[in-house]
Amino acid sequence: MLSFIIRRLLLVIPMALLVVTVTWTLVRLAPGSFYSGEKTLPPAIEANIKKKYGLDKHWLEQYGLMMLNIIRLDFGDSLKYPDRNVNQIIRDHFPYSATVGILAYLLALALGLTAGIVAALKQNSAFDYGSMTFAMLGLSVPNFVLGPILVSVFSLTLYMFPPARFGGFMSLVLPVITLSAIYMAYIARLTRAGMLEVMRSDYIRTARAKGLSEKTVLLKHGLRGGIIPVVSFTGPALASLLAGTVVVEKVFAIPGLGNIFIQSVLNRDEPLILGIVAFLSILIMLFNLAVDISYGFLDPRIRYE
């Protein structure tokens, strides 16, 4: 097991570099540059800018320098925001998206798992239909609709929570609810499906036949196999949640990484794009590794050769 983890961890670095290379190529292929604007710059000014940022060098040299910096974990300065360092930007803004993302996922997990398990155990009951309908509602109301509706009810009519901007617990309530709705729905439905599948499998029947209490059967055996779909889903979901969600960040004016990332792509801010992509790809790989490890704990029959 340990060697499996080490092997996977060692893989993270070359893979992140591969992702960065692909992204770098895409940035270079995309039309426009960070300084292109409504006004065309005089050629002399453009030349000054190119010289300042080393864009006048051969592309191979530029690529080499970029990779060298990345290996040293220094992504350099943003081009669009020249007084800010990419590492600094990630360090400053990741906590915002992480706070909102983790809280939202915890909320989604708590409510979604409970609803999914109960619904599966009481299949076709009123609770089953009720909670699944609710889950569907969370799914079919897009977050760009849910957010503004929550704001107009709770902030602008009842004046219970601030309508936007990050600051204190109260300001987190609405964005966390908005963000968690869709994940809650996913988790509830996946849990229900997984549980239904597992509760009918042979080993649960065996466990029941052994005379174990229903509670033990459910929590010790059923749940472990039943939440595998949720666990599979969690890896990528949590990684993207931590990196920030554009819509919620925009609606609630949260200075998270998600919006900064989208803007960096639209701005062709190469160092910032590469920095965030490298960071994000490492996150995704680590989360997926964690998921693969947890499979083994959840279901002892899953082994890695």
Partner 1 sequence: MTRISFIQFRSILAIVVLASFLISCTTQATSRYWGQTKAPTEQVMRYVSGSEPESLDPQVPTGQPEARVLMAFYDGLVEYHPKTMDPIPAIAESWEPSPDGTEYTFHLRKNAKFSNGEPITAKDFVYTFRRALSPELAAQNAYLSYYIKYAEAYNSGKSFVRDTSGKFLLVKDLEEKKQTPEAEKSATPTIEPNNPVENPAKTEKIQADSNKPSVVETEFHKMINEPERVTVPGDEKSRTALLEKNPKLKAALEGKELVPVKGEDIGVEAVDDYTFRMKLIQPAPFFIGLLGHQFFRVVHGATVEKFGKDWTRPQNIVTSGAFKLSVHKPYDEIIAVKDPNYWDAANVRLERIEFYPLEEQTTMMNLYKAGAVDATYNHTVPAGWKSNVKQYENEYLNFAEVSIEYYTIAVNKPPMNNVKIRNAFSQAVNREALATFRKNALNPLIDFTPEGAFPKYEEIRKRVYDELLKKDGMTREQWQSQAFNPKRACEIFEEQGYKVREKREDGRCVLETDPSVKGAFPVAEVEILYNTSESNKSVAEFIQAQWKQNLGLTLPLKNQEWKTFLKVRKEVDYKGFGRAGWVGDYIDPFTFLNLFYGKTNDSSTGWHKPEYDKMLDDANKELDPDKRYEMLARAEYFLMKDQPVIPFLTQETNWIKKPYIKGFYPNPGTLHPWKFVYIEQDPNKWDTQVKNIMKNQDPWVEEQISRLMKTQEDFQKSRQAQETNTAKTE
Partner 2 sequence: MTENTQPIQGTSLWKDAWKRLLKNKLAVFGLIVLGIMVIAVLIGPAIIRWTTGFTADYIPSDVGIGELVASFPPSWQHPMGTDEAGRDLLARVLQGGRISLMVGIISTIVSLIVGVSYGAIAGYMGGKIDNVMMRFVDILYAIPYILIVIVLLSVFGGPNTPDWIKWLAELFGGAGNAGLSQIFLLFFALGLVSWLTMARVVRGQILSLKNQEFVLAARATGVSTLGIIFRHLVPNALGPVIVYATLTVPSVMLSEAFLSFLGLGVQAPYASWGSLAADGIKNIAIYPWQLIFPGVTMALTLFSLNFVGDGLRDALDPQTRKF
At its nearest, how many Å lie between partner 1 and the CB of residue 18? 26
Quick one: CA torsion of 272, 274, 278, 283, rounded to 10 degrees?
A: 50
For the chain, give me the number of helices (H) and strands (E)?
14, 0
Using DSSP's 3-state secondary structure scheme, residue 187 falls into: helix
60: left (phi over 0), alpha (psi -120 to 50) or beta: alpha
The residue behind tokens 């949720």 is 230
200 binds partner 2 (CB under 8 A): yes
Rg, the chain, Cα only: 24
Residue 269 Cβ vs partner 1, minimum distance, rounded to whole Å? 10
Contact (Cβ atoms closer than 8 angstroms) between residue 116 and residue 187? yes
Q: Fill in the per-residue mask, 121 to 160: x = in contact with partner 2 (CB under 8 A), - = not in contact.
A: --x--------xx--xx-xxxx-xx--xx--x--------
**Quick one: 23 or 171, whose CB is closer to partner 2?**
23
Cα-based distances in Å from 250 to 91, 160, 188, 245: 20, 20, 27, 9
| Amino acid in the structure at residue 24 | W
* Chosen from partner 2, partner 1, none, partner binding at 49 (C-beta under 5 to 8 Å by type): partner 1
Element (DSSP H or E) covering residue 49 = helix 43-52
Q: Which is nearer to partner 1, 77 or 242 (CB)?
A: 77
221 binds, among partner 1, partner 2, none (CB under 5 to 8 A by kind): none
DSSP conformation class of 130 = H
Q: Which is nearer to partner 2, 49 or 265 (CB)?
A: 265
CB of 233 to partner 1, least distance (A): 25
DSSP string covering 4-37 = HHHHHHHHHHHHHHHHHHHHHHHHHHSSS-TT--
89 binds partner 1 (CB under 8 A): yes
Residue from the set 93, 189, 192, 221 that interacts with partner 1 by CB under 8 A: 93
Question: Does residue 59 touch partner 1 according to CB under 8 A?
Answer: no
By C-beta, is 185 or 242 nearer to partner 2?
A: 185
Q: Tell me if residue 69 falls in helix, strand or coil.
A: helix
Tokens of 132: 């699944």
Answer with the entry of partner 1, partner 2, none that 182 interacts with (C-beta below 5 to 8 A by kind).
partner 2
Stretch that binds partner 1, among 9-17, 64-72, 156-164, 197-205 (CB under 8 A): 156-164
Binding-site size for partner 2 (CB under 8 A) equals 69
Smallest distance from partner 1 to CB 111, Å: 16
The residues binding partner 1 (CB under 8 A) are: 30-33, 35-42, 44-45, 47-49, 51-52, 77, 80-84, 89, 92-93, 126, 129-130, 133-134, 137, 148-149, 151-153, 155-157, 159, 162-166, 250-253, 255, 259-260, 266-268
